[in-house]
Structure formats: structure tokens, C-alpha cells
Amino acid sequence: MRTRAILRSKSGLVGLIAVVVIAVAAVLAPVVARHDPFEQNLRASLGPAGRQHWMGTDDLGRDTFARVLFGARVSLMIGAGAVGLGLLVGVPLGLASGYFGGTFDAVAMRIADLLLAFPRILMAILIVAVYGVGINSLLVAIAVPDIPIFARLARASTLSIIQLDYVAAGRALGASDTRIMARHVLPNLVGPVTVQATFSVAAAILIAGGLSFLGLGVRPPTPEWGSMLAQARTYMRTAPHLITYPGLALAATVLGINLLGDALRQAYDPRFRGRLGGA
């Protein structure tokens, strides 16, 4: 039912198509790309788009099309991996906090408030500065700010769910807290958590690109959209294709994910369901 609602939404359908196309291109990058993204050919450096190189070449003669495709793999992996890590830590924390309450809830939420007080990009920079530059530290740097977001979302939903009659009935029948949380509370968190995770993936890809642009993310020569944009700054006038294609790929991916996330929110939230047909 919700899938049909998403498909009826024009913006949701556009977002879904964009995400699927980019994801498939990333998975099939070794098949689709005609050149090795690391192969250098200085005689063809800064070449324009043509039959041999569909998106031209960079300053080292590497094929831009291949690097954009393989960059999609890196960017999507970082976005999904970081959000998955934040979700795996934040949701159980928020679930336990909302269900049990008390001192644990108070301490956990104060820590969450402290983490939320820092801008995400600033916290990511601080974490990378401590643990060093690399994909692993980048995943942690992006995941940590997501933990309090998912924790607060799970807690708020849990506080509403545990007031419902079927939860009280489960307690009256002697069901354990673990069983109630696993069978009655957790399944009802899927909707809001999925929506938030979708938006968080888009934000994570942007943050990863920003950190790589600043030299704090993925290290060259690994293709990643942010690092490709950073390397292309010098050649903005002489070879604008170097900044155009990675920039368009990044923008299309983030826009597509956000459109899909908005459609998911409309499908899961009753307050937005009336807007699905005209979205």
C-alpha cells in the first residue's frame, strides 16, 4: 500500500528512479566503465568529452566517466554505512531509554543533547582530526552525530507506543520487557526510522563530500566526488568538465534521496497522506 502511494507521488517516483539508476550504475561500474579509474595517460590530460572518454579526462589523463561511476560506489557506501552504524547504536539506545525511563533515560538524553549541540560538520572534523584521515574514520565521524538523532526519534516513538492497549495487554499476560520491545515496540519504529534514515543518507553523502573537499575525507587517488571537486578547482576555467560531472552526480544523488525520503514521510505520516497525489 505504501509502495503504491510512493509510486503515485510524482516527486517520489522521480527520486526513486534517480536513486535506483545511480545505485545500479555504482554496482555495475566495473562493467559500464570503459577505462580503469586509476589508469593515467599524461598525453591525454585535461581532454574534453569525446568518443574515447565520454566525460573527458583529468589532469593525469584518467577517465572522468569511470571515476564518477566508481566515486558513486564510495559515496553511497559511506552514506549508507555511516547511517547504518548510527542507526544500529541510536535506535536500541532510544528504545531502551523510552521504555525503561528513569536515570538511564535522563543520562542518555542529556548526552544526546550535548552531541546535538555541535554542528554535524564541526563534530565530524573534530573526530577526523583525532582519528586521522581515512574511510574508517570518516564513517565514524559521520555516524556519531546520527546516533542522538536516531536515539531521540526512537525514544519519542517508544513513549507513544508503550501507552497503547496492546502493550498493556502484553504486560498483563506476563510478557517480558524484551519480548514486548521486540514484538510490539520495535516493529512500529520501522516507519519513522526509515524516513529519517533516508534523509540522513543524503546528509551523510554531502558531509563526506565536504570533508573530502577539505582534504579530511577519502584520500586520492581513490575516486570520490568531494575529492574530485577539490582536485578540479585548479582547472575550473580550462577544464570545466572536471567540476561539472562530479558536481552533477552529487547533486542528483542528494536530490533523488531527499525526494524519496519526502515521499516516504508522506506515506508513513497520516498528516501528509492527503498530499501524496499532488506531490
Amino acid, single-letter form, for residue 15: G
Q: Which residue, 210, 63, 220, is CA-closest to 122? A: 210
Cβ partners under 8 Å of residue 126, min gap 6? 118
Residues of the chain above pLDDT 90, percent: 59
Q: What is the DSSP string of 2-60?
A: HHHHHHHSHHHHHHHHHHHHHHHHHHTHHHH-SS-TT---GGGTTPPS-SS-TT-B-TT
In this structure, are residues 95 and 154 in contact, taking their beta carbons and an 8 Å threshold?
yes
CA distance 55 to 64: 5
C-alpha cell at 233: 578547482
What is the CATH T-level fold of the domain 2-36+56-275, as seen in this structure? MetI-like fold (1.10.3720)
Q: What mean pLDDT do residues 128-135 have?
A: 86
pLDDT tens track for 33-81: 989 999 998 888 898 888 888 899 999 999 999 999 999 999 999 999 9
| Phi, then psi, of 63 in degrees rounded to 5 | -70, 120
In this prediction, residue 5 carries a pLDDT of 67
pLDDT tens track for 68-108: 999 999 999 999 999 999 999 999 999 999 999 899 999 99
Q: If you average pLDDT over every residue of the chain, what do you get?
A: 89
pLDDT tens track for 183-230: 889 888 998 999 999 999 999 999 999 999 988 888 888 999 999 999
In this prediction, residue 277 carries a pLDDT of 47
pTM for the model stands at 0.89
